[in-house]
Every structure is written in C-alpha cells, then in structure tokens.
Amino acid sequence: MKNNVQLITYVDRLAGSNITNLNNLLSDKLSGLFSGLHLLPFYYPIDGSDAGFDPIDHSMVDNRLGHWQDVKELGENYEIMADLIVNHMSADSSEFKDVLKNGKQSKYWDLFLTKDKVFTKELNSEAMAKIYRPRPGSCFTQYQTIDAETIEFWTTFTDSQIDIDVESDAGQNYLSNILTTFSQNNIKVIRLDAAGYAIKRAGSSCFMLDDTFAFIKDLSEKANNLGIETLVEIHSYYQTQIEIAKRVDLVYDFALPPLILHSIFNKDFQALTNWLSISPKNCITVLDTHDGIGIIDVGPMQEKPGLLTNAEIDLLVEKIHLNSREESKLATGAAASNVDLYQVNCSYYDALAQNDHDYLIARAIQFFAPGTPQVYYAGLLSETNDMELLAKTNIGRDINRPYINNKSLEESLSKPITKALLQLIKLRNECAAFNGEFSVSYEQQTLTMGWHNADKSTAILNVNLSKSQAWISLESEQSSHRVDLIALLETTI
C-alpha cells in the first residue's frame, strides 16, 4: 500500500450515482489527492438495513452503481479497499431463505450459526452475561422454518443480519469465493468487517478469543496468496490492537480520534503522546468513518487501565454533545436505532464545534501520526451533522452519512477549511520524509511530531494550543519552509 492519503466513500453518496461518476470526480475536482479508495459496501443491495453491511449477495455489485468491470477499471488508477463482511449476511439472502424453507435439509444449513451449535447444553444466565455485546438485547433471534420448527440463530448486530458459521466448510467456501471475486477485479486491500465476533465458544466472551486471532491469521494468509492485503476492523482495548497488529498486514488506529479530541478540549497532549510512543506502525489512521467516534478504544477494560480514565471519557463525551448542540446525543446510544453503544455518533467537524482552526490541527496530527491516513468523504468536505437524514431513518450513524449532490459539493469545495485541508493532503503526499522514522514529544505545552528520512528530508509538526500556535517545518537538501496552519486557513478565504 502506498503511504499517501486515501479516501473513504460510498459510491452513491458523493456527488454521483455510480462508479463511473465517482471515477470522473476523482480525475476532475479531486484530481491528484488520493492514491487509494476505501469503497464502502457496493454489493447488492446498498440500501438494506445497515447501508450495505448486510449483503444479500456479497459477490454482486448493486447494478444501480455499476458492475465488476467498473470496479476493475477504477482499480487501474487507485488502490481499492473493499469490505469483506466476515461475520454475517442478510436474512433476505437466497441462502437463508432456503434454510427457512428446508430447515436442516437445506444445502445451506451449515453456512449459518445457531445457538445450539455453540451451546450444546442449556445457556444459563452466567454464560449469557459473559458474551460481549455491541448492542442491547439478546444476540439470538428466533426464526421459524416452514415445518414450524423454531430455531435460534446468532444475530450479533441486528435481527436481519444472520451470523455465518465461519468454521464450517460452507462458511469457509463462502469467504473464499468472495476473496477470489475480489482478486479478479483489482481489489488490493480487504477490510475484515466485524472479524472480532466471528468465532464463538461456550463460556467465553465470544469476542477476540485466541481462536479468533488464529482465524484472522488464516484468512489473511488466504488473501495474501491472492495478492490482497488485509486490514482488521476491531474496536477493543488498546492492547488488543497492538497484539493483533503483529499478526496481520494492517490495523486501524481507532484510539487516535478520541485522543485528539481529548487533547484539543483540554489543551493537553500527554495522553496522545503516550499512545503514539507505543502505537502500531502498520496502521490506517482515521478521524471519522461511516461509523461513530469510538470510545472503547481508549478506555479501561476488566480493571486494566486505559489510555484515558472513565472520568476523562465521560468529560470527552459530554464535550462532544455540548459542541454539537446536543445533536450527537440524539444519535447516540438508546436515542436512535444503534448497534454501536461504544461509539458517539457525530461528525468530527461538529465534535470540534465547527472550529476551522481546531479541525485543521486535528487533521495535521492525523497526517503526522504513524500509518497511512484515510479521509472520510464527509470529513473531507467538513460536513456538519445531517439531522434531516437522522430524522428520516432514526439510524444514529446516518448523522454522518450524508448524501452530497453536485451543488453541495461545489459549495463545500469553496469553503476555506476544505481548501486548506486539500493543501494539507497535497503536502502529506508530496513530502518524502513520511517514509522515514517517526518521533514524538510533549514539552513546555508543545506537541512535536517529526519525520526524518534517509534522504535528509524532514517534516515536523508543532502544536501549542495554549498559545494558539500550530506550524509545520519542512526541510530537504534543496529547500526549507514553514507552513503556519492559521495562515493556511486565512490564505484560502
């Protein structure tokens, strides 16, 4: 993977209705900005109960967006990342419908995970309490087959997302067939969605077990053999992220977004500095994604200390609610149909109270942090919370999943903060220092993040919020100059 800035986007939500239009946009108004694209689910259908993360047919491009040939052509110019939705598929899939029609006689029976496949004995309250849950309520849903037999299927996320038995031959073949389709159509990286929940064992948390690590390692090797890198998507205790980074190609630095917010809110970079000194280097960095802002990634777990204390996290969440005029509160937790109780649903721009200077500093810190930076399409355009879409769907994460038409795109691209961010992206892409060695320190209220390359190029970010100062120093054998972030904003007005 190239160490340049990448874009995260839905095909149909960024000023276009199909892959061809997206390709045209990237070669026109967004030309030269991104080396790679994370295309959020483009499978059939894109408008299920979870915005494409509940595929009926994972191997089929939704024909409203285009076809595999369009994806393949897009991949000629960009490194394409696609989601391999490991844990589940739609209850409306032909495979699950066949199970409901034919019960245990269905040829797809072994593809899905039932309660009694894991718990051969009665599931007591103690064992149930151990299961790690991303949402309230039971992790099982009763479905009735045509012969009136009631069966409890695992449904980790929603009642319409049926968990796959990834250890069965049918489950293994299902995932292998998707990988083969990806490799044939220029998919270079896969994001293993919800992989932490894939393996279940009676009497355990059914999340990130030793067997889960082994499953992820095996799946990653299969992908690597097809020329595909793997990115593991897991929200969990920060030490878990460090451990899994040793076994796969790439992990997310999900601790970075809340730590940056904490740092800016408190004008104190100590917690962030501590993390950056131990964080995995083979990571993808983000501030916002199609999901919410993760909180569990910085918190304590099972009496082990976190990167932040529970009290600091409470203050962080309340500050996000305050900055967003409590819009985030309407989209988070029990307030909306959420499956992510460990996240706060809010645009990152609103989490920072739409403060352009703070937002640009946050992006600069992201770009200087170890790893390959990805910028979400809504964050690229500094979009605010989409309260109209939230009211329409009552799905919390839709607050930061806007549909942007061509007019809105033009308006957003003309904003000073967007212009400044585009310049920052170009700086990150063009500076060879970011392929060198990283250093970080926090002294006299100044955060210093540096990159030093063997070709004698350097890039150093300094931030002192107490003095409202933030600047980048760039040096090479040919030249040296300083970029003041406040001045960068002012020159784009």
Instruction: Point out the residues that are catalytic.
Output: 193, 233
CA distance linking residue 404 with residue 331, whole number of Å: 20
CA distance linking residue 460 with residue 123, whole number of Å: 56
Cross-strand pairs, 112: 164
Backbone φ and ψ of 188, nearest 5°: -100, -25
CA distance linking residue 54 with residue 45, whole number of Å: 8
CA distance linking residue 302 with residue 285, whole number of Å: 26
Both tokens of 88, joined, read: 């589940």
CA distance linking residue 91 with residue 420, whole number of Å: 45
> E-strand spans in 335-456?
343-344, 372-376, 437-443, 446-452
Burial class for 218, CB neighbours closer than 10 Å (0-12, 13-18, 19+):
exposed
Q: What burial letters (b/e) apply to 358-388, b meaning 16+ CB within 10 Å?
A: bbbbbbbbbbbbbbbbbbbbbbbbbbbbbee
Asked if 190 and 169 touch (Cβ cutoff 8 Å), the reply is: no
CA distance linking residue 370 with residue 23, whole number of Å: 29
Q: Specify the long-range contacts of residues 432-436, CB closer than 8 Å, at least 24 apart.
A: 432/457, 432/476, 433/457, 433/458, 433/459, 433/474, 433/476, 434/3, 434/459, 435/3
- Going 176 to 181 to 186 to 187, the CA torsion angle's sign is negative
CA distance linking residue 37 with residue 106, whole number of Å: 38
Query: How many alpha carbons fall within 13 Å on the CB side of residue 466?
Result: 7
- Region for 25 from its dihedrals, namely left if φ exceeds 0, alpha if ψ lies in -120 to 50, beta otherwise: alpha
Report the 10 Å Cβ neighbour count for 149: 11
